[in-house]
């Protein structure tokens, strides 16, 4: 299996697990489980439980003989916090942008995203463009077919490895228009160099009108030396390197501000880990909490 497919599967697993087993819900992707086979769900589950000792030897001992609690711990500590909260934040912003007249939504690095299928009421008012690696797109289309999903008319798959070279021609060919647009770039900035990230933002916004905006997540300057709860930040960096997807970039707030300014973007809202914890993880009785060093940002073109 190509790594693009594996990454999207693990992310879908985290969303599916949360939808089925966690309360209260931070982000309810009730369709994610339909895009995983039962075997894949079980395989990821078993790998996670077996991998607890990599994360924490003491917890591995504690959960010996209790696979369900072990899975809950590893999923809620390491796997789910960022994908759940950033999706909740992004979709809140998007739905507000739609009220303000946005007619196009571009999802960069879409993976097994289910937004369009969870919002059939938007089929005639919002065009959705999913941009991802050709292997991931092929994999997703097969999954949608296997799950008997009907692809809505407002859905457009755009094959592109935008981490190498952003090709606007593919997007225009799929029906994209240079009008006010909302974009999401979740779980991607860490894997780009600062130059690549800056170049991508320039390409994305150079032809878009004022009022177009983007939500993305980024790691702050503590990424490569923070440990985090149960060493989870350090483990995240190690896991990425081990899977062949090395994390390359982290930014100070001033760096991010400067980088956005070069693309004509202003920060509309910025959420620190403390903000995210307060907004999405308050008063929980489980292991879920905002990931240290990860920030969310909504930037708007001037």
Predicted local confidence at residue 127, as pLDDT: 98
Quick check: 164 pLDDT over 90? no
111 Cβ contact list (under 8 Å, min separation 6)? 7, 8, 11, 12, 132, 136, 140
Residues of the chain with CATH 3.40.50.150: 82-301
Quick check: 281 pLDDT over 60? yes
Alpha carbons 14 and 75: distance in angstroms, whole number: 7
Considering only residues 225 and 163, tell me which one the structure prediction assigns the higher pLDDT.
225
C-beta separation of 81 from 281 below 8 A: yes
Alpha carbons 254 and 259: distance in angstroms, whole number: 9
Predicted local confidence at residue 75, as pLDDT: 96
Predicted local confidence at residue 38, as pLDDT: 93
Does pTM top 0.85 for this prediction?
A: yes
Alpha carbons 215 and 92: distance in angstroms, whole number: 11
pLDDT tens, residue by residue, 77-118: 999 999 999 999 999 999 999 999 999 999 999 999 999 999
Residue entry with tokens 């592109």: 160
Alpha carbons 144 and 147: distance in angstroms, whole number: 5
pLDDT tens, residue by residue, 33-68: 999 999 999 999 999 999 898 889 999 999 999 999
C-alpha angle with apex 251: 236 to 107, nearest 5 degrees? Answer: 70
Tokens representing 47 are 């790998």
Predicted local confidence at residue 69, as pLDDT: 96
C-alpha angle with apex 246: 245 to 247, nearest 5 degrees? Answer: 120
Predicted local confidence at residue 8, as pLDDT: 87
CA 225 to chain centre: 23
Alpha carbons 105 and 94: distance in angstroms, whole number: 8
pLDDT tens, residue by residue, 121-131: 999 999 999 99
Predicted local confidence at residue 3, as pLDDT: 62
**% pLDDT > 70, the chain:** 98
C-beta separation of 126 from 153 below 8 A: no
Instruction: Assign residue 166 a region (left: φ > 0; alpha: ψ between -120 and 50; beta: otherwise).
Output: beta
Predicted local confidence at residue 26, as pLDDT: 98
Q: What are phi and psi of 182, to 5 degrees?
A: -110, 135
Strands lying side by side in the sheet with 181-185: 155-159, 127-132, 104-108, 181-185, 213-219, 294-301, 265-271
Quick check: 1 pLDDT over 60? no
Which one-letter DSSP state was computed for residue 122? G
Q: How many CB atoms lie within 10 A of CB 68?
A: 11
Quick check: 300 pLDDT over 70? yes
Mean pLDDT of the 278-292 span: 97
Assigned fold of 82-301: Rossmann fold (3.40.50)
| Average model confidence (pLDDT) across the chain | 94
Predicted local confidence at residue 4, as pLDDT: 58
pLDDT tens, residue by residue, 194-235: 999 999 999 999 999 999 999 999 999 999 999 999 999 999
């Amino acid at each position: 299996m190509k790594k693009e497919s594996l990454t999207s599967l693990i992310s879908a697993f985290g969303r599916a697990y949360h939808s089925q087993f966690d309360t209260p819900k931070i982000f309810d992707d009730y369709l994610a489980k339909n895009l995983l086979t039962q075997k894949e769900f079980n395989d990821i589950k078993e790998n996670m439980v077996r991998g607890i000792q990599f994360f924490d030897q003491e917890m591995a001992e504690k959960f010996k003989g209790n696979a369900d609690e072990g899975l809950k711990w590893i999923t809620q500590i390491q796997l789910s916090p960022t994908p759940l909260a950033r999706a909740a934040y992004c979709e809140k912003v998007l739905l507000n942008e739609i009220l303000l007249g946005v007619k196009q939504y571009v999802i960069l690095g879409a993976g097994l995203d289910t937004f369009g299928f969870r919002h059939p009421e938007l089929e005639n008012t919002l065009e959705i463009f999913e941009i991802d690696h050709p292997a991931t797109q092929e994999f997703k289309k097969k999954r949608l077919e296997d799950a008997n999903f009907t692809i809505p008319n407002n859905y457009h798959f755009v094959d592109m490895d935008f981490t190498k070279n952003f090709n606007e021609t593919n997007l225009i060919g799929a029906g994209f228009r240079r009008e006010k647009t909302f974009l999401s770039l979740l779980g991607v900035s860490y894997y780009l160099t600062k130059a690549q990230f800056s170049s991508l933002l320039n390409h994305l916004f150079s032809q878009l009108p004022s009022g177009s905006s983007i939500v993305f997540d980024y790691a702050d300057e503590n990424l490569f030396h923070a440990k985090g709860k149960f060493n989870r930040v350090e483990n995240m960096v190690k896991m990425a390197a081990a899977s062949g997807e090395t994390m390359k970039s982290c930014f100070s707030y001033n760096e991010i501000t400067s980088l956005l300014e070069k693309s004509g973007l202003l920060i509309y809202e910025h959420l620190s880990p403390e903000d995210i914890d307060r907004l999405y993880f308050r008063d929980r009785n489980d292991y879920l909490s905002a990931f240290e060093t990860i920030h969310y940002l909504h930037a708007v073109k001037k």
